[in-house]
Structure 1
Amino acid sequence: MAMLTKLFKNNIRQYGMIIALVLISVLFQILSGGTLLKPLNVTNLILQNSYILVLAIGMLLVIITGNIDLSVGSVAAFVGAISGVLMVSQKIPFLPSVLICLLIGAAVGAWQGFWVAYVRIPAFIVTLAGMLLFRGLTMIVLKGMSLAPYPKTFQKISSGFIHDPFGGRVHLLTLLIGAALSVLYIYMEMHSRRSKLRYQFDVLPPAWFAVQMILVVLVINLFTWVLAQYNGIPNILILLAALVAVYSFVMNKTVMGRHIYALGGNEKAAKLSGVKTKAVTFWVFVNMGVLAAMSGLVFAARLNAATPKAGTNFELDAIAACFIGGASATGGVGTVLGAIIGGLVMGVMNNGMSLVGLGIDWQQGIKGLVLLFAVGFDIYNKSKA
C-alpha cells in the first residue's frame, strides 16, 4: 500500500486528470440521458477537438521550455487561408498544397523562434505580435471572404474514415485494430516492467499491475467497439495517434526530449551542461509552427472552407489543455499524453454542457474555473514538495 501511495503521489496530476476525465464523462452521460457516449457523438467529439489536440502537442513543448505561444490560432487561420488560395482558387493538387502549407508553418515558427531564442525578446511579446500580424495577413489573403469548396480528397482528412474491407453492420476492421492495440499495450507494459525491475525501480505489485492492464485493455476495446457501431476509426484519429506516439517517443527516449525538459527546468544549468539552449528554443518554435499549420489544415478540411474567422481562441484552448493535463506554468514539467487528456477533458466538458443546454456564458465561466483550479493545484503540489 505504501508503494501504491508513493506511485500515486509521484504521478498525481496524470492520474488525477484520468480520474477527472472518467468522472466528467460519467456525469454528462447521466445528465444527457445517455447521449454523450453514443457512437455518433463520440465520433463527433474526436472530429470537433482534433485540431485543438494537434495544437496542444506543439504547445506542450513550448510550455515545457518555459515559454508560451499566443499566435497559434492566427497562424492556423493564415495557413488555412493559404491552403484555400492554393487548392480552391489556383487548383493546385492536394499533396503539393499541403506540403507548401507545412513549409509556410515552419517558416513562421522559425521567424518567431529567431526573435525569442536569439534576440531574447520574451515569447509572450513575440507571439502576441504574431497573433496580430498573421490575423491581419489572413484578412489580406482572403480579402474578407471565405473560399470553398475544397477537393474531396482534402476533406477526407477531417471527415473520412478508414475503409472496412469486411463490410457488415459493425466495422470489423476497427475491432481488429482494437485487439491488436491491446496486445501491443500488454507487450509494452510487460517490457517496461521488466526493465524497471532490472534497475530496481519502484513498480506496482503484480496484482495491481494486472488490474491496470485489464482496465486499459477494456477501455481500448470498449472505445473501438463504440467507434465500430458508427463508421469506424476516423482518418484524423490515425493522424493524432501517430503524433502522440512520435512525440511521446521524442520526449521520453531521445536527447532532444531530455534537452527540452532540461531547458525548462533550469536554463542556466542546462547551458552549463552543454545544452544548446538557443537552438532548442528555436526548433521548438519551428515545430510549433508546423503543428499550427497542420491544425489549420485539419480545421479547413472539417469546415470545407477557408474563412477569416478560423482559429479564434484556438491558442487559449491549446494552452488550457496543456495546463489541465499537468504541464507546469514555470516549465520543465508535462507529458504529451497529459496534454491529450487535458484536451479531452475540455472537449467532453464543452460537448456535455452543450448537450444539457448550458449557454456559452456558463460554459466559458466553468472552463475558466477548471483552468484556474488546475494551475492552482500545480502550485500547491510544488509548495508541498
Structure 2
Amino acid sequence: MTTTAPQQKDPVGGDAPAAALHTGTSDIRALITRNLRQSGIYIAFVAIVALFAILTGGVSLSPGNITNIVLQYSYILVLAIGMVIVIVAGHIDLSVGSVVALTGAVSAVLVIGQGLPWWVGVLAALAVGLAVGAWHGFWAAYVGIPAFIVTLAGMLLFRGLTLRVLDNISLSPFPAEYQLVASGFLNGLLGGDGYDVFTLLIGALAVAGYAVSGFRTRVARVRYLQPVESFPLFVTRVVLVGSVVMAFAWQLAHARGLPLVLIILSVLVLAYGVVTKRTIFGRQVYAIGGNLNAATLSGVKVRAVNFWIFVNMGLLSAVAGIIYSSRSNGSQPAAGTMFELDAIAAAFIGGAAVTGGVGTVVGAMVGGLIMAVMSNGMQLMGVDQSVQSMVKGLVLLLAVAFDVYNKRRAGAAR
C-alpha cells in the first residue's frame, strides 16, 4: 500500500506537497544557509553602498555619480560576464586586458586613421575578438595546454600586437557616432518635469520582469518538490529588490537619462543568464567545471565546449574594447592594463569557486559592482591609489577565503 504526501495550499495559489513548503523559521534558516554564499554577496553590496554613502556625505548616491559609475565600470562588467563562464569551466583568462587594447586599436586605425565609417570599426573589433578567442580555444581545448599558460602568452602576444598596430602612438578622436556607444543617453522620449519618464518606465518593467520570473521559478520548484522560502519572504525579497532598482532608476532619471551602455549591459546579462541556466551549453559548462571525468563519461564534448568558451570570452573582450575606446574617445597602447584582474576579482567576489563548477552571471555583476562602488567611493574620499589597491586585494582574498572555508565545512559535514 502506498501513501502520498499530504497536500496543502501553497501561497502561490495551488496545491503542493507539504514537504515542498518551507514556512517555518527553521526551514527558512536552512534555506538561507544553503544560499549563504550568494545571499552574503547581496548583503555585503548593500552594506558597502551604505558605508560609502555615509563616508562621502551622500555624494556617492547622487544622480551624477551613479551615472558616472555606470559609464566608468561598464566594460569591466562586460568582461566579468565572460570571465565567470571561463572560471565556472575550471579555467582562467589572463589576456582580456590586452584583447581590449587590441580590438580598440584595430577600430581606431580603421575609423580614425583610415576614415572608414564607425560601424566598420565596430565589426572589425568584434571579428578580431572572435579570432583571438578561437586562437586561445585551439591551444587550450585541442592542443591541451593549460588555459593559464595559453592566455598568459596571449597577454604578452596581443599587447605587443597592439603596440605594432598603433605604432606606439595614441589615436583620437573618434567620430560622434562611435562615442555614443559609451557616452550616449536615451532621454526625453516621454517627457518629464526635471526627470526622464522613459528611464522610470524601463526600471518599472525591469522590476515587473524580475517579479514574474521569480514567481514562475517558485511555482516550478514547488511542483518538483524543491525547497522554497515562504510566500511572505518571497514577496519581501521582490519588494526590496524592486525598491533598489527603482531608486537606481530614479537617480538616473534625474541625471542624464538612461545610458546606452547600460542597455547593452542589460541585454548581455539577460542573454547570458539564459545561456548559462537554460541551455545545453550552459549545463555542459557547469558539468565540466564540477566534474570533468563525469562530464566526459556523460557524453559532453569537452573540447568543443572549452573551445567555444574562449571564443565567447574573445567576443566579450571585443565588446569591452569597443565600449572602452568609445568612453576614452581614442585608443592608447596601454589601454586595458589590469582589466583582467578586475574581471577575475569580480567573478570570485561574486561567488565563483576557485575549483570551478560554481558561479553565476548575476553574482559576477554584483561582485563587479562591489569593486566599482569601492573604487568610486575611495576616489571621492581622496584615498591614495596605493591604499585603494591594498583594500581591493584584501577584499578579493577574503572572498576566496570564504569560499574555501565553506567547502571545508561542507566536506567535514559529510
Kept in 1, the 8 Å contact 2:108–2:121? The answer is no
Structure 2 counterpart of 1:188, one-letter code: S
Q: 2:350 — aligned with what?
A: 325
% of aligned pairs identical? 53
Q: 2:217 — aligned with what?
A: 192
1:51-93 deviations in whole A, cap 9, x for unaligned? 0000000011110111100000001101110000011011121
Q: 1:95 — aligned with what?
A: 119
Structure 1 counterpart of 2:122, one-letter code: V
Deviation, 1:266, is 1.1
Report the Cα distance in structure 2 between the residues aligned to 1:182 and 1:370, rounded to whole angstroms: 30
Structure 1 counterpart of 2:238, one-letter code: M
Deviation, 1:236, is 0.4
Structure 1 counterpart of 2:408, one-letter code: S
Structure 1 counterpart of 2:104, one-letter code: G
Dislocated runs of 4+, deviation >4 Å: none
Report the Cα distance in structure 2 between the residues aligned to 1:164 and 1:7, rounded to whole angstroms: 44
1:11-69 deviations in whole A, cap 9, x for unaligned? 11211111111101111111111100000000000111100000000011110111100
1:46 matched to 2:70: yes
Q: TM-score, with normalisation over the residues of structure 2?
A: 0.92
1:181 matched to 2:206: yes
1:365 matched to 2:408: no
Structure 1 window deviating more from structure 2 (137-146 vs 178-187): it is: 178-187
Q: Which residue among 79, 84, 88 is the counterpart of 1:64?
A: 88
Deviation, 1:218, is 1.1
1:146-195 deviations in whole A, cap 9, x for unaligned? 11110111101110111322334211111111222222222222222111
Q: Which has the larger radius of gyration?
A: 2
Deviation, 1:275, is 0.2
Q: Which residue among 98, 106, 122 is the counterpart of 1:74?
A: 98
Report the Cα distance in structure 2 between the residues aligned to 1:321 and 1:260, rounded to whole angstroms: 19
1:23 matched to 2:47: yes
Structure 2 counterpart of 1:353, one-letter code: M
Structure 1 counterpart of 2:55, one-letter code: L
Report the Cα distance in structure 1 between the residues aligned to 2:209 and 2:58, rounded to whole angstroms: 31
Structure 1 counterpart of 2:160, one-letter code: G
Q: 1:121 — aligned with what?
A: 145
Structure 2 counterpart of 1:358, one-letter code: V
Structure 1 window deviating more from structure 2 (32-41 vs 161-170): it is: 161-170
Structure 2 counterpart of 1:81, one-letter code: A
Q: 1:35 — aligned with what?
A: 59
Report the Cα distance in structure 2 between the residues aligned to 1:79 and 1:206, rounded to whole angstroms: 48
Q: Which residue among 286, 296, 300 is the counterpart of 1:261?
A: 286
Report the Cα distance in structure 2 between the residues aligned to 1:217 and 1:67, rounded to whole angstroms: 35
> Partner of 1:147: helix, strand, or coil?
coil
Q: 1:109 — aligned with what?
A: 133
Q: 2:257 — aligned with what?
A: 232
Report the Cα distance in structure 2 between the residues aligned to 1:345 and 1:165, rounded to whole angstroms: 32
Report the Cα distance in structure 2 between the residues aligned to 1:121 and 1:199, rounded to whole angstroms: 42
Q: 1:145 — aligned with what?
A: 169
Q: TM-score, with normalisation over the residues of structure 1?
A: 0.98
Deviation, 1:143, is 1.1
Q: Which residue among 235, 242, 263 is the counterpart of 2:267?
A: 242
Q: Which residue among 361, 371, 375 is the counterpart of 1:350?
A: 375
Structure 1 counterpart of 2:404, one-letter code: I
Q: 2:296 — aligned with what?
A: 271
1:282-335 deviations in whole A, cap 9, x for unaligned? 000000000011111100000001111100000000000000000001111000
Structure 1 window deviating more from structure 2 (303-312 vs 156-165): it is: 156-165
Kept in 1, the 8 Å contact 2:269–2:362? The answer is yes
Q: 2:109 — aligned with what?
A: 85
Report the Cα distance in structure 2 between the residues aligned to 1:4 and 1:248, rounded to whole angstroms: 26
Report the Cα distance in structure 1 between the residues aligned to 2:117 and 2:345, rounded to whole angstroms: 36
Report the Cα distance in structure 2 between the residues aligned to 1:36 and 1:60, rounded to whole angstroms: 27
Deviation, 1:97, is 2.1
Structure 1 window deviating more from structure 2 (16-25 vs 87-96): it is: 87-96
Report the Cα distance in structure 2 between the residues aligned to 1:106 and 1:235, rounded to whole angstroms: 23
Q: Which residue among 169, 183, 203 is the counterpart of 1:159?
A: 183
Deviation, 1:145, is 0.8
Kept in 1, the 8 Å contact 2:187–2:199? The answer is no
- Unpaired segments ≥5 residues, structure 2: 1-24
> Partner of 1:36: helix, strand, or coil?
helix
Report the Cα distance in structure 1 between the residues aligned to 2:341 and 2:373, rounded to whole angstroms: 16
> Partner of 1:148: helix, strand, or coil?
coil
> Partner of 1:149: helix, strand, or coil?
coil
Kept in 1, the 8 Å contact 2:95–2:154? The answer is yes
1:328-350 deviations in whole A, cap 9, x for unaligned? 01111000000000000000000
Report the Cα distance in structure 2 between the residues aligned to 1:112 and 1:382, rounded to whole angstroms: 31
Deviation, 1:96, is 2.5
Deviation, 1:380, is 0.4
Report the Cα distance in structure 2 between the residues aligned to 1:266 and 1:166, rounded to whole angstroms: 51
Report the Cα distance in structure 1 between the residues aligned to 2:204 and 2:153, rounded to whole angstroms: 48
Structure 2 counterpart of 1:152, one-letter code: A
